Structure 1
């Protein structure tokens, strides 16, 4: 069980688990980018755009982190440390003989093309490898989302396959390209 919440710092960004006081900023991020993100997201959950949903979600994010199940981060620019510009979510933590997880991410439309996701995902994967002791991180993207594919390629993720009708995105089954990044320095950790 983890005892300390991470604050991951890169040159221009802060990445951390959201707190209750940030719900208005989180809602602003998702509401302001809803049209942009919808083609890349599962169908929005009922009440997703409400305080109540995020009160529960942030508490759940915290509990999942301390119980070694997930790490769900919000991205903040250092110059505006209260402004949410994206998310990086590590999910499906599997230990035992596997030591892997999945990662998904989103970035505000206005923040596209500035290298933020490459920078943030690089810092986050380093944390997941070094501090959380994962051996493998898997990321999947839709073939037509070449921006996402380019980010993963820049970070060294290797294409491992193609999955037909893999995820239900925006109400439609979508094919995905399967990639992974391996931690070359992995050592077994005593839990």
Structure 2
């Protein structure tokens, strides 16, 4: 199994969680609950409990080991134990599409500093160069201008508009569909 990556940028540390991070991830979600709710699915009742996150951390490591996901969390180097965001590359598929889906969130207090694009760049590079993925799909609700800006800055291209695409905060929401394609993808078929 590959060793889970740790990305260090000029201001951030981006990595998978360990069991020592349970309290920090809970604090992140509790502190940002009202801010994130309009952009996320309804959470299960136990989402804000330690047992839930202890299991999620184990699940994330297993999924990473099987090339199914890379669930990263963002930490500011100045406070390396405090979660300030997430960057989840999920639904990884090899074979015919060599693709994944991207979802992310950032603490309300961390908005407007360029953290998300800084955090996503090394993850994208790792997926394209290290895991040889061809495509990353990312979607955002039409009114989420910050998300649109992040994706545009990273080179994602709008591909379409999907009505009632995802169940967000208990309501079906339209989404703008985007993707980023690895122009240096190399076939592993000989």
Q: Does 2:144 correspond to 1:145?
A: yes
Deviation at 1:126, TM superposition (A): 1.0
Q: Does 2:82 correspond to 1:83?
A: yes
The 5 Å alignment of 1:1-191 reads 2-189=1-188
**Kept after mapping to 2: 8 A contact 1:41/1:169:** yes
SS of the residue corresponding to residue 14 of structure 1 reads strand
| TM-align CA RMSD | 0.9
How far apart are the structure 1 equivalents of 2:145 and 2:20? 35
Q: Could you tell which deviates more after superposition, 30-39 or 3-12? A: 3-12
Deviation at 1:83, TM superposition (A): 1.0
SS of the residue corresponding to residue 100 of structure 2 reads strand
TM-score of the two chains, using structure 1 as the length reference: 0.97
TM-score of the two chains, using structure 2 as the length reference: 0.97
How far apart are the structure 2 equivalents of 1:88 and 1:100? 16
SS of the residue corresponding to residue 84 of structure 1 reads strand
Deviation at 1:89, TM superposition (A): 0.3
How far apart are the structure 2 equivalents of 1:188 and 1:19? 33
Deviation at 1:164, TM superposition (A): 0.3
**Kept after mapping to 2: 8 A contact 1:8/1:127:** no
How far apart are the structure 1 equivalents of 2:44 and 2:11? 31
For structure 1, the residue ranges without an aligned partner over 5 or more in a row are none
Deviation at 1:128, TM superposition (A): 1.1
How far apart are the structure 2 equivalents of 1:67 and 1:169? 28
Deviation at 1:184, TM superposition (A): 1.1
How far apart are the structure 2 equivalents of 1:180 and 1:3? 26
How far apart are the structure 2 equivalents of 1:114 and 1:74? 17
Q: Could you tell which deviates more after superposition, 28-37 or 4-13? A: 4-13
